[in-house]
Amino acid sequence: MIAAGVRALREMYVLTKELRNLRVLTLSAAVSTLGGGMLDPVFPVYLESRGLDLKTIGLVFTIGSILPVFLQPTLGALSDRFSRKGFVVSLSLLTSLLIPAFTLFSQPFALAVVLAMKLMISQSAAPLSSALIADFAPANQRATVFALMDSAINLVFVAALAISGVAVNLLSIQGVFYVSGGLFIVSSLTLFGLRETPSRVLGPVSDRPGWAVAAMSMVSLVLDLKSSPSFLRLFVYQFCFAFGLNLFPVYLPLYALKLGASQAVVGPLLASSWLLYALVQPMGGRLSDRSGRRKGLITAGLAGMVVFSLLLSLASWAPQSIALSLMAAAWMLLALPDGLFRPSAMALAVECAPLEERGRILGSLGTAGSLANMLAPLSYGLVASRAGLGAAFLLCSGAFALALGAMATLAEPAPAPFTPASSELG
């Protein structure tokens, strides 16, 4: 696993030899992921020990997704008008300061407020980070860049999960919070090494004041949904895909236990698919860039996810002797189509967005993901409580099928011309 992560980072280093900004972004993301990965296993336990039950934590996650519905297109539009780097660095610093703040409060309400703020900021920043990567990625290697970065970061995350227990034993849970917060701060400071985004030079800049740009961002989202078939299909895809993915973090461990897995097996079972996903991504990115067309790989990948999530559902009704094996095989194999197509989908979304509106468009698509983050926990909880976990996975498969339909009818733009490394501004 560690060797695979080193290979991905080394390949990213070679690919971005003359693209300093991508190196800075990769290093920053790797450092923050190391902090987040160390914290993730103990985070729910810490919150529960301070009086936040699982139902309350789920409610806070839903509340934390409400404001990003409005903030993502607004911040995206402002980043097009002003400095993308400035917004990304500022949001990253705010997140860094909130991590150690969890140790300063013992009241459940105060902790819930801090958690909601962290979720709100991190979700709002995600589309801006994608736009920043796209600003500097060569057009004919865009999917490869997305794939290599995501692969390397996921492998760092798996490694961080592995050392989390050791860190807790050495430092205590509060100590891990402080170390994680320190890593997030280092990650944020690393971003000061970015050169300014080229979009302000290469694309026309709106002469409207900032408040007008922010006020028009939600109106523009509605207008795009009405007037642009391509944007509408991307929005539907983004919502349905995020809706489907929302099932796995909470319900897959419960599903494995229900089908007979021991507690000790659940962690390695989850990690196996995650690791396979990270290793497959570079291959998917290269295939997409070499073909010059994205849709074929995307639709094939989504079709695979529909099939394997359906098999996950069927494991609930399979004979007990094969139910767990079927579930484990379907979960691991799900990583193959997911890793192969997801970098292409990210690249396609960027290529459908005009350069001068890249931040706003990606922010608007982020709104679809935030809506899914709000509705999915409620929907899956209701279905699982009334019809069982197998039915919840059936709903997940249906969401992936709708995402497939949206992508299959999307008009793919022509391949973009090569963007030379000299496009970075000094």
CA angle (176 as vertex; 172, 179 as ends), nearest 5? 135
Q: Count the Cβ atoms, other than its own, within 10 Å of residue 159.
A: 17
Token pair listed for 413:
């733009």
Q: What residue type is assigned to position 141 of the chain?
A: Q
Distances (CA, A) of 202 to 16, 80, 136, 424: 20, 11, 12, 11
Residue whose entry in the numeric block shows the structure tokens 């949206």: 406
Under a CB-based contact definition with an 8 Å cutoff, are residues 209 and 371 in contact? no
Count CA atoms within 13 Å of residue 326 on its CB side: 19
Spatial distance between the Cα atoms of 259 and 42, rounded to a whole number of angstroms: 25
Residues with Cβ within 8 Å of 79's Cβ and at least 6 positions away in sequence, in order, are: 87, 88, 128, 131, 359, 363
pTM of the model: 0.80
**pLDDT of the residue at 302:** 96
End-to-end distance of the chain based on CA atoms, in angstroms?
36
> 310-333 in b/e burial notation, b at 16+ Cβ within 10 A?
bbbbbbbebeeeebbebbbebbbb
Spatial distance between the Cα atoms of 263 and 105, rounded to a whole number of angstroms: 31
The architecture (CATH level 2) of 20-411 comes to Up-down Bundle (1.20)
Q: Where are the strands (E) in 24-152, listed by range? A: none
Q: 87-120 pLDDT, tens per residue?
A: 888 888 888 888 888 877 777 778 788 888 888 8
Under a CB-based contact definition with an 8 Å cutoff, are residues 420 and 138 in contact? yes
**pLDDT of the residue at 426:** 28
Q: How many residues are recorded in the chain?
A: 426
**pLDDT of the residue at 332:** 93
Spatial distance between the Cα atoms of 362 and 133, rounded to a whole number of angstroms: 12
Task: For the chain, list residues with pLDDT below 50.
Answer: 1-2, 5, 199-205, 416-426
**pLDDT of the residue at 200:** 46
Q: What residue type is assigned to position 340 of the chain?
A: L
Distances (CA, A) of 338 to 105, 277, 284, 309, 344: 39, 7, 9, 11, 10
**pLDDT of the residue at 306:** 96
